[in-house]
Amino acid sequence: MAVPDTLTEAERAASLVDAEQKAVALFNKIEPLVRPGVGEKELSDTIHKLGVELYDVKTHWHKRVVRSGPNTLCPFNDNPPDRIIQEDDIVVVDLGPVFEQWEADFGRTYVLGNDPEKIKLRDALEPLGSRSRPSTRRTRT
């Protein structure tokens, strides 16, 4: 998507911050949908519909990735078979929605259940996410 050349740097920055805020709000709507018994593809499709309904998202600059359990170990470009999310899974959601013409690239890691090792792993990722996007990452236990 082309970004108008007439925008100042401040306007571009404000538009990117707006896209980031919309992505955070979208993830807040997604969080309760990440639950056992839902298929990865079903969750991805629901996320897509939410983006369209809430923000008129027409495209994503990269594919939507929703992976759970062993599928979280697959490289980004892989397309593992659809899997039903289980009660004790780690679930990764990686989105690249385009809000108007502004790209947002956001990911979240959710831990379902109370496995202390999985929670420790998720929490170890927190500082890495904070380096690029301070105070925007949420997780679910």
Per-residue pLDDT tens digits for 99-127:
787 777 788 899 999 999 999 988 887 66
> What CA–CA distance (Å, rounded) separates 47 from 40?
11
CA dist 15 → 18, 62, 96, 100 (Å)? 5, 19, 15, 9
Q: Is residue 87 over pLDDT 70? A: yes
Residue 19: pLDDT band by 50, 70, 90 thresholds?
confident
- Segments in the chain forming alpha helices (H): 9-30, 40-55, 116-132
Per-residue pLDDT tens digits for 27-69:
899 899 999 999 999 999 999 898 888 888 786 767 788 999 9
Residue 116: which residues within 8 A CB-CB, separation 6 or more? none
Which amino acid, residue 138? R
User: What domains are there in the chain, each with its CATH number?
Assistant: 9-132 (3.90.230.10)
Residue 141: pLDDT band by 50, 70, 90 thresholds?
very low
Tokens of 62: 């990269």
Which amino acid, residue 6? T
Q: Are strands 102-103 and 90-95 parallel, antiparallel or unpaired?
A: unpaired
Q: Is residue 92 over pLDDT 90? A: yes
Q: Is residue 86 over pLDDT 50? A: yes
**φ, ψ at 101 (rounded to 5°):** -110, 10
The structure's pTM equals 0.78
> What CA–CA distance (Å, rounded) separates 62 from 28?
20
Q: Is residue 79 over pLDDT 70? A: yes
> What CA–CA distance (Å, rounded) separates 83 from 130?
29
